[in-house]
């Protein structure tokens, strides 16, 4: 597609609303001419997949105040005997976050895990070069595992592929997963952890395609190193799941090419590949919120594109194995980036990447959750990046916790996206998003537009055990409520568990410690249940409707 400058884009977007459709639609939505209602037919037999337990995981990086002052703060009035903040632990346990990626991110590419184990008073303080921050190493592998057990989450470990060797990676697997009797397992036992940590999921490096990454390397070199590391790691523990480091996102000039080359080298040795993407109402959308509301379609498209690369390499190799996708960094992030937002100036626990979130960000995060649900056949792990303080739904201060706007759609996905995802193809009114601007992110390339975009984006889940079906409804229309008609093909709901929405008059409103409840969910009036149901979704809203069967 011809690239469009930011000026050209802004002109088009303001003069003509949205320009004429050009881009490939990743959009399973039919625009029905003249229709004012979105119609959804739900057939319980049309199932996409069982939603993986790990679809709504998260991420904690040794960065800014995510760990220090976020989850670990021995001086806090909330600290337990381990120094863990009990208020944050309660919040994360209650959310039910299934899997958490740690310790990075960019941080991991310079991290020596040995610095973070053993007696705390012997651990070195080092300069983390990714974020120019003092890393005290008071929180390391064993603390993370202890914390993860306490909050009831599974660890997803990142490996240092920047300054670390394949041998270092295998040594960490041995430290974590071998019961006893070897050099590294005995070190763990000496450190007071008799039982193995049994870490199952491993990210084989982080964003190694990015020139910003410590140890950045060409794709083929990475693929060879990943192959070598995977072999050594699997020799230690054949049951582990390995996630190859995929492209940092579609803005990269090497997008797709990186993934293909990497997989040509290491396809047989890995189980999945990573995808990353951060969205923002910025250059890409021209600051136009109506365009911003369509950006979850970029996630649909990215998933489809990376799945296609995996399958192409699979076919080339005549392999019987299908790789899963690990969307292990996704979120809104565009304000607190670069400059002092990303530079700790050599201090410990600096305020980095503390993105403030508003209503429109929460709506998009809801839309992104919809995109993950409808691709749950292929995406088996995904991590909202991140969890506490750093680009996060939860913020801390000395007195407690703040829930940012994006907390709520994430909490709904965790609570209600259970069972099987249903395949639905809504029909209704929409608008056009033909072009997108050039993302400034690391000098990236522009994405094509989406063509016709439905005002209402819907996904549905069916939990037969709990006799519940849930609809996640995103009304992108910023001006008007939208009517939805639901036709149940073979199910008849008998009652409403919950019908809640995130909406409001001010798209830019957010929550702060001074005003923590400015944007929170509102309860909607229960619809009449039956084989045919009608709903009205408020303008600019993301709603969850959970029904008893
Ligand atoms: O999540 C913040 C950073 O974004 C991570 O460290 C890196 O992997 C990505 O670029």
pLDDT band at 439 (very low <50, low <70, confident <90, very high): confident
With a cut of 50, say whether residue 11 has pLDDT above it: no
Ligand 1 atom 7, closest CA: 105
Ligand 1 centre distance from Cα of residue 378 (Å): 23
Ligand 1 centre distance from Cα of residue 105 (Å): 5
61 lines ligand 1 (CB under 6 A): yes
Instruction: Using DSSP bridges, classify how beta strands 495-502 and 541-548 pair: parallel, antiparallel or unpaired.
Output: antiparallel
60 lines ligand 1 (CB under 6 A): no
Ligand 1 atom 4, closest CA: 105
Adjacent-strand bridge partners of 400: 397
CB 431 within 8 A of CB 357: no
Give CA–CA dist 4/204, Å, rounded.
35
386 lines ligand 1 (CB under 6 A): yes
Average pLDDT along the chain: 93
- The torsion defined by the Cα of 215, 221, 222 and 223, in degrees rounded to 10, comes to 180
pLDDT at 77: 98
What are the angstrom distances between the C-alpha of 73 and each of 83, 89, 92, 110, 386? 5, 12, 16, 23, 18
SS3 302: helix
**Extended beta strands in 114-216, E state:** 126-128, 133-135, 154-158, 201-204
Tell me, yes or no, if the pTM score tops 0.75: yes
329 lines ligand 1 (CB under 6 A): yes
Ligand 1 atom 2, closest CA: 105
Helix ranges (DSSP H) in 388-508: 407-416
Ligand 1 centre distance from Cα of residue 400 (Å): 26
pLDDT band at 442 (very low <50, low <70, confident <90, very high): low
With the most atoms of ligand 1 within 8 angstroms of its CB, the residue from 57, 58, 62, 104 to mutate is 104
The pLDDT tens digits for 16-31 are 233 222 233 344 567 7
Instruction: Determine the atom of ligand 1 nearest the C-alpha atom of 386.
Output: 1
**Residue 148, φ and ψ in degrees, nearest 5:** -60, -40
> Does the structural domain 50-421 have CATH classification 3.20.20.80?
yes
The pLDDT tens digits for 259-310 are 999 999 999 999 999 999 999 999 899 999 999 999 999 999 999 999 999 9
331 lines ligand 1 (CB under 6 A): no
- C-alpha closest to that of 338 among 320, 354, 353, 357: 353
- C-alpha closest to that of 409 among 336, 504, 473, 498: 473
With the most atoms of ligand 1 within 8 angstroms of its CB, the residue from 103, 106, 107, 355 to mutate is 106
pLDDT at 36: 85
Ligand 1 centre distance from Cα of residue 536 (Å): 38
Region of 276 (left: φ > 0; alpha: ψ -120 to 50; beta: rest) is beta
The pLDDT > 70 percentage for the chain reads 93
Give CA–CA dist 509/517, Å, rounded.
11
Instruction: Determine the atom of ligand 1 nearest the C-alpha atom of 331.
Output: 1
The pLDDT tens digits for 217-266 are 999 999 999 999 999 999 999 999 999 999 999 999 999 999 999 999 99
Instruction: Determine the atom of ligand 1 nearest the C-alpha atom of 248.
Output: 10
302 lines ligand 1 (CB under 6 A): no
Instruction: Determine the atom of ligand 1 nearest the C-alpha atom of 385.
Output: 1
Q: How many CB atoms lie within 10 A of CB 108?
A: 28
CB 405 within 8 A of CB 362: yes
With the most atoms of ligand 1 within 8 angstroms of its CB, the residue from 67, 103, 105 to mutate is 105
With a cut of 80, say whether residue 450 has pLDDT above it: yes
Residues classed as catalytic: 207, 329
pLDDT band at 441 (very low <50, low <70, confident <90, very high): low
160 lines ligand 1 (CB under 6 A): no
Instruction: Determine the atom of ligand 1 nearest the C-alpha atom of 106.
Output: 6
CB 18 within 8 A of CB 11: no
Give CA–CA dist 107/522, Å, rounded.
38
Residues 6+ apart with CB under 8 A from 175: 113, 117, 141, 184, 185, 187, 188
Ligand 1 centre distance from Cα of residue 83 (Å): 26
With a cut of 80, say whether residue 161 has pLDDT above it: yes
pLDDT at 16: 29
């Amino acid at each position: 597609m011809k690239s469009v400058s930011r000026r050209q884009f802004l002109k088009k977007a303001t003069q003509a609303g949205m320009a004429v459709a050009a881009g490939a639609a990743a959009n399973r939505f039919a625009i029905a001419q003249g229709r004012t209602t979105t119609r959804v037919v739900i057939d319980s037999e049309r199932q996409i997949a069982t939603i993986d337990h790990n679809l709504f995981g998260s991420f904690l990086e040794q960065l800014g105040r995510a760990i220090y002052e976020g989850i670990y703060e021995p001086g806090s009035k909330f600290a337990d005997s381990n120094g863990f903040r009990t208020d944050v632990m309660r919040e994360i346990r209650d959310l039910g976050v299934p899997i958490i990626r740690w310790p990075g991110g960019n941080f991991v590419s310079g991290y020596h895990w040995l610095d973070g184990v053993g007696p705390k008073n012997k651990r070195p303080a080092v300069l983390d070069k990714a974020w120019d921050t003092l890393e005290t190493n008071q929180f390391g592998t064993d603390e993370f595992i202890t914390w993860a057990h306490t909050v009831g989450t599974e660890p997803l470990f990142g490996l240092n592929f920047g300054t670390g060797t394949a041998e270092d990676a295998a040594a960490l697997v041995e430290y974590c997963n071998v019961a006893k009797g070897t050099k590294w397992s005995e070190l763990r036992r000496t450190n007071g952890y008799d039982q193995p940590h049994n870490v199952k999921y491993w990210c084989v490096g982080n964003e190694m395609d990015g020139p910003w990454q410590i140890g950045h390397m060409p794709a083929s070199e990475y693929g060879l190193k990943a192959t070598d590391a995977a072999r050594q790691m699997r020799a230690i523990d054949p049951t582990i799941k390995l996630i190859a480091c995929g492209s940092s996102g579609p803005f990269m000039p090497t997008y797709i090419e990186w993934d293909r080359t990497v997989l040509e080298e290491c396809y047989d040795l890995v189980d999945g590949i990573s995808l990353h993407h951060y969205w923002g109402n910025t250059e890409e959308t021209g600051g136009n919120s109506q365009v911003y509301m369509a950006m979850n379609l970029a996630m649909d498209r990215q998933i489809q594109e990376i799945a296609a690369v995996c399958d192409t390499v699979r076919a080339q190799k005549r392999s019987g194995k299908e790789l899963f996708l690990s969307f292990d960094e996704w979120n809104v992030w565009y304000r607190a980036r670069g400059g002092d937002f990303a530079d700790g100036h050599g201090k410990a626990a600096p305020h980095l990447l503390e993105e403030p979130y508003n209503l429109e960000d929460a709506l998009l995060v809801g839309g992104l959750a919809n995109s993950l649900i409808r691709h749950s056949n292929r995406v088996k792990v995904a991590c909202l990046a991140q969890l506490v303080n750093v680009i996060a739904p939860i913020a801390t201060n000395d007195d407690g916790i703040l829930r940012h706007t994006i907390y709520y759609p994430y909490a709904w996905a965790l609570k209600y996206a259970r069972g099987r995802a249903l395949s639905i193809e809504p029909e209704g009114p929409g608008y056009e998003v033909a072009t997108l601007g050039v993302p400034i992110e690391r000098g990236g390339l522009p994405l094509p537009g989406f063509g016709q975009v439905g005002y209402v984006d819907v996904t549905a889940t069916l939990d037969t055990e709990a006799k519940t079906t849930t609809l996640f409804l995103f009304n992108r229309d910023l001006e008007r409520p939208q009517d939805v008609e639901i036709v149940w093909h073979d199910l008849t709901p008998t009652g409403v568990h919950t019908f809640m929405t995130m909406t409001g008059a001010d798209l830019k409103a957010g929550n702060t410690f001074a005003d923590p409840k400015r944007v929170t969910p509102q309860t909607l009036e229960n619809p009449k249940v039956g084989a045919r149901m009608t709903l009205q979704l408020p303008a600019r809203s993301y709603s969850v409707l959970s029904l008893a069967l």
